[in-house]
Amino acid sequence: MTSIRTSEYDIEPFHDLVAPGPQTPQPNQAARFIALCSILLGGLLGGLIGYGTTDIMVPDSPVIAALGLLVGAVGCAIGVGIVARLAILAMGEWKMSVHPEAKDQPSTPSDASD
């Protein structure tokens, strides 16, 4: 680090500045559990929709209705999984965007008057 030499003092720029430590974008356990439950619920509802649709279209074939159930369940579970993953990533980036030193300060001027 370069220092500026004066007659009495050594001045080091940014001497008192503390860099924040690395942060991890990992979501907490509650967010992961909610995402898992939403994926399972989406798969269940997609399976019911797939079964109902194929059962109405082909009423005499339970094999095709079961295939519709499987395709609907897997398709909806994948779709909900993609949305849940994107939501968890966005939540992690949102948490990391807050500067560590700004946590003690109010975020808006209206919070300062309370």
Is residue 65 in a domain?
A: yes
| Structure confidence at residue 56 (pLDDT) | 94
pLDDT higher than 80, residue 38 = yes
Is residue 14 in a domain?
A: no
Is residue 30 in a domain?
A: yes
Report how far residue 37's alpha carbon sits from residue 78's, in angstroms, rounded to the nearest whole number. Answer: 13
Is residue 109 in a domain?
A: no
Query: Which domain covers residue 50, as residue numbers?
Result: 26-97
Pairing of strands 4-5, 10-11: antiparallel
In sequence order, which ranges of 1-114 are alpha helices (DSSP H)? 29-57, 62-96, 109-112
DSSP 3: -
pLDDT higher than 70, residue 112 = no
Report how far residue 96's alpha carbon sits from residue 99's, in angstroms, rounded to the nearest whole number. Answer: 8
Please, are residues 39 and 80 in contact by the beta-carbon 8 Å criterion?
A: yes
Is residue 84 in a domain?
A: yes
| Structure confidence at residue 39 (pLDDT) | 97
Write the DSSP assignment of 21-34 as a string of letters. PP---PPPHHHHHH
Judged by DSSP in three states, 7 sits in coil
Is residue 82 in a domain?
A: yes
Least confident of 29-33, 35-39, 68-72, 92-96: 92-96
Question: How many folded domains does the chain comprise?
Answer: 1
| Structure confidence at residue 92 (pLDDT) | 80
Report how far residue 12's alpha carbon sits from residue 3's, in angstroms, rounded to the nearest whole number. Answer: 5
Mean pLDDT of 79-86: 96
Please, are residues 43 and 75 in contact by the beta-carbon 8 Å criterion?
A: no
